[in-house]
Structure formats: structure tokens, C-alpha cells
Amino acid sequence: QVHLVESGGGLVQAGDSLRLSCAASGRTFSMYAMGWFRQAPGKEREFVASIGWNSSITHYTDSVKGRFTISRDNAKNTVYLQVNSLKPEDTAVYYCAAVRSDRYSAPVRDSLYDYWGQGTQVTVSS
């Protein structure tokens, strides 16, 4: 069982940056692949980025490549999403998710993840 808690969201202006954090409970965090997803009002949840257990594998959706960076610190049981050059269309609730890395390395499909956080709101004004 993994409990995930996101933080770091807020109200920012276009062009600003944020660092989202997702803290995981338990002593087996390094055994999990992690992902970030987001859901904007009236839209379906979409994949943002994912990272393998040892950071050797990362995936990004095209719309955030070059602006967002996913990373993890297994000693701190935390995965991060550095979000730069924010745009109004990045406004959404951002969720982190976890799945055992012996099942999937760094999946992009939300249905493959077993554990989810409660989300953190990111609002970007123009």
C-alpha cells in the first residue's frame, strides 16, 4: 500500500514556474514507477510525465516537453514535477500516481496505476 500526497500547486501568472511534489508513504518507494497526470475542468484526465524506479526512464506528453521535468529522490520518498513557462492551458488539478515497477516501467496510461494522490491545483492566469 502506498499513500501519496501532492503539494506545491498555486495561482501563478503565465510564464511562471512551480515545483510540484508528491510524498509517498512506506519504505518501498524505490520499487514504484511514478507518474503525473492532470485534469482540467470539463476534460478527461491526461498523462503529463512518468519516471521509472531509478530515474533511467522518463516519458512526457508532447505539450510539456521542454517545459516540465519529472524527477525523484528515493531517499526522500518523493517525486517532483518542475513546471516552467506555464501557460493558461496548463491549468488543472495535478495528480501523482504509483505502480510497482516490476509490473510497468513508467507507464503513460492512467489505468495502469494502482495508487493515486488527492491532487494539487495549478491555476495559470494570462
SS3 of residue 4 by DSSP? strand
Residue 23: which residues within 8 A CB-CB, separation 6 or more?
Answer: 4, 5, 7, 76, 77, 78
- pLDDT tens-place string over residues 77-126: 999 999 999 999 999 999 999 999 988 999 999 999 999 999 999 999 99
Q: Do residues 53 and 71 lie in contact, with contact meaning Cβ atoms separated by under 8 Å?
A: no
Of 2, 4, 3, 1, give the one whose Cα is nearest residue 95: 4
- pLDDT tens-place string over residues 20-65: 999 999 779 999 999 999 999 999 999 999 999 999 999 999 999 9
* Dist. CA 69–CA 49, nearest whole Å: 8
Of 97, 89, 100, give the one whose Cα is nearest residue 123: 89
In order of 4, 39, 84, 98, 105, the CA distances from 101 in angstroms are 16, 24, 28, 9, 5
